[in-house]
Amino acid sequence: VKEAGRDFTYFIVVLVGIGVTGGLFYVIFRELFSSSSPSKIYGDALEKCRSHPEIIGVFGESIKGYGEATRRGRRQLVSHIEYVKDGLKHMRLKFYIEGSEPGKRGTVHVEVKENPERGRLEVRYIFVDVDTYPRRTIVIEDNR
């Protein structure tokens, strides 16, 4: 009876470990590979910025993107907000870009909205505020 109790305890510990590991894999997979994750939307928006001719003209060829600075000075956190309006999921992102042109910086604003037929998030708009002189706004995509 004592050995059977110990075996049962080990079995429960193994099941809990498998459950926790499965949950971690699910969260990682959803964050990295889902089309509706903030990091995926950020990557797609950054690629659109890198390929837009007007953005390249202002910032230069080598455009890099980054998020808000943390306490340690790392800039990996992309600011985003998720909300539901009229029963559809929306998300807004804000991140920053710099190019090879010295001193040129910009703030990128992105909004995506759930498409009810496809069940995916689709871009409503992407615009870039040029933070240095001369200040202006460049609209990349406007599907409102």
Cβ within 8 Å of residue 113, ≥6 positions away: 88, 89, 90, 121, 122, 124
Q: What is the pLDDT of residues 25-58, one digit of tens each?
A: 998 887 777 767 888 899 999 999 999 999 999 9
Is residue 74 located within the same domain as residue 22? no
Is residue 5 located within the same domain as residue 30? yes
**Tens digits of pLDDT across the chain (144 residues):** 889 999 999 999 999 999 999 999 998 887 777 767 888 899 999 999 999 999 999 999 889 999 887 777 666 678 899 999 989 999 999 999 998 888 889 999 999 999 888 878 889 999 999 988 888 999 987 765
Is residue 45 located within the same domain as residue 25? no
Is residue 46 located within the same domain as residue 69? yes
Give the pTM.
0.72
- What does the DSSP assignment read for 70-124? -TTS---B-EEEEEEETTEEEEEEEEEEE-SSTT-EEEEEEEEEEETTTTEEEEE
- Its domain, for residue 22, covers 1-34
Is residue 22 located within the same domain as residue 67? no
Write the CATH number for 117: 3.10.450.320
Taken as a whole, the chain contains a residue count of 144
Number of domains in the chain: 2
For residues 123 and 143, the answer to whether their CB atoms sit within 8 Å is yes
Is residue 95 located within the same domain as residue 27? no
Q: Rounded CA gap, 55 and 53, in Å?
A: 5
